[in-house]
Structure 1
């Protein structure tokens, strides 16, 4: 499949899609019911395929791969089994995507935003390798922190510290909680993301994630341990709001596995001569490229509201440089 049909590559090797990122039809006025319906139920859309796939993984994991709640009241061998299960899921998702796109390079640099491959001799990274660094941080920090929050939730449910809602009695309420989970994830991520971009916090914590200027799947959860702690803290929402363990499972799967898709480094995954899987992560790729734009996704248009949105166009470049220039001028003026 020829990527020039969908975008163009400049002299620096940066591929830009013809179709610019745009906000989801949630906060649009006047309302566009038809467009909203297509976005909600179409393919690709809000439900299909990715959120539905993650929900499927959550159901299977909860039913077949999670110990019974009555065994989670106290420390037991089941806790170690959950860590092993989560590590296996991470290897399958992150490692599988990396193997397909970066080891076998099944589609070369077709649809790759940056034509270069991850660094293999760069002192910024542990072991001087971006891939080794990213995988190590994901498996040795990200997965344990993810598991710790999950275990805390199961312990709290089993000991009655969280109000558990019965599925049979309140199915509509619980489905609604599932549907708003991505929106809560987006809001929570925006708030913590802006926080850790503040001077000292950025250099101490978030810079670890931004070392991967040219991200790949393993970059998604490659973070400082403290960032993992605040990133996964969004699940504490369910400690306050009455819910079912399935709501917790789905939210944690969103946060744990979706970053692999959001950091693919590719606009499309080619599945055949005329077939492809579309996961447009260009909006977030621009955040890795320019740092001070696109702090969240396009589900809730916080970046548009606060003037930090960038859609990859020359006009967005100009607006960004003007904003940065004004920011530098303001800093300089405050010293006099």
Structure 2
């Protein structure tokens, strides 16, 4: 199935197979002067009608209801319940990443429609484990990523089970219960920007973050393919639930947003085409620009950190020139 329409043609350029309307937009929530109407519209578009936010929220409630060991069982460390968490995370990561990979790159169900980069995955390249980008990405995502994700999961579940973490319910605090779902993407964006910026300090880039950036042409498994040290820093955001009053469904949602959303944000496609007309937005051209030009867009569109600190690339040729100058300055000092 191939979808051809004017927006696709209009989105083609010399640099990209397809790109969204440029310049790339970020959330208006932090604009000055304030733009309340646009801000509300941005939140609505990210939550309704069917988006990744909604999907992970529904999955979090389902996980809490049916796929989580009893809290009393998790009050002390046990091989059985930790293994069940690891298997659950392994299955979900594989389902999301491999499902997208097969649909987009194996079966090529939508051809190159909405695909950003014209290049494919690297093969027969010694920079990757097994000389193959796909298997390298799978190895790091599952062996390192899922294991470290599960370790943080086990710690937070033990904290809830023993009363070490502040726990609320919808009945006890309905406003905060709902508001936290809206705030968590912003919290994640704050954490991601500053962690990511630190990882681009030349020393940390060379010894840690370069594992992730070997995948110049990204695909679903590339997102969670990181050095173990980066996995610890990235999934370490889950420690926020040791101090932030929340329900376990918030914690599960954040875990899914951190781990599973890497498969979609690195899918390499803007949209997943479903049927003749239906599309689900999955990709992030904002982050695709980062993988192409490296020293820009350290954060994500949920917050405007890159705008505020001069590292924003909006997709324009002028921004590319400035990014390359900044990269030259950074590495000339290292």
TM-score (norm 1): 0.92
Give, in whole Å, the separation in 1 of the partners of 2:97 and 2:118.
Answer: 20
Give, in whole Å, the separation in 2 of the partners of 1:30 and 1:11.
Answer: 36
User: Aligned residue for 1:250?
Assistant: 253
From the superposition, tell whether residues 149 and 46 of structure 1 become closer, same or farther in structure 2 (CA, over 3 Å): farther
User: Aligned residue for 1:71?
Assistant: 73
Query: 211-220 vs 274-283, which deviates more?
Result: 274-283
Which of 50, 54, 74 in structure 1 is aligned with 2:56?
A: 54
Listed as ranges, the matches of 1:1-336 within 5 Å are 1-2=3-4, 5-6=7-8, 7-11=10-14, 14-42=17-45, 48-76=50-78, 77-325=80-328, 327=330, 331=333
Query: 255-264 vs 155-164, which deviates more?
Result: 155-164
From the superposition, tell whether residues 206 and 73 of structure 1 become closer, same or farther in structure 2 (CA, over 3 Å): same
Coordinate RMSD, CA, aligned: 2.0
Shift, 1:176, TM fit = 1.7
Shift, 1:47, TM fit = 7.8
From the superposition, tell whether residues 132 and 190 of structure 1 become closer, same or farther in structure 2 (CA, over 3 Å): same
Give, in whole Å, the separation in 2 of the partners of 1:113 and 1:274.
Answer: 20
SS state at 2:280 partner: strand
Unaligned runs of 5+ in 2: none
Determine if contact 1:270/1:276 at 8 Å carries over to the other structure.
Answer: yes
Q: Deviations over 1:49-89 (max 9, x none)?
A: 11111111111111100001000012331221111111111
SS state at 1:215 partner: coil
Determine if contact 1:303/1:309 at 8 Å carries over to the other structure.
Answer: yes
Determine if contact 1:3/1:111 at 8 Å carries over to the other structure.
Answer: no
Query: 235-244 vs 251-260, which deviates more?
Result: 235-244
Shift, 1:40, TM fit = 1.6
Give, in whole Å, the separation in 1 of the partners of 2:279 and 2:199.
Answer: 35
From the superposition, tell whether residues 264 and 226 of structure 1 become closer, same or farther in structure 2 (CA, over 3 Å): same
Shift, 1:253, TM fit = 1.2
From the superposition, tell whether residues 90 and 178 of structure 1 become closer, same or farther in structure 2 (CA, over 3 Å): same
From the superposition, tell whether residues 325 and 125 of structure 1 become closer, same or farther in structure 2 (CA, over 3 Å): closer
SS state at 2:19 partner: strand
From the superposition, tell whether residues 3 and 225 of structure 1 become closer, same or farther in structure 2 (CA, over 3 Å): farther
Give, in whole Å, the separation in 2 of the partners of 1:26 and 1:190.
Answer: 17
SS state at 2:165 partner: coil
SS state at 1:221 partner: coil
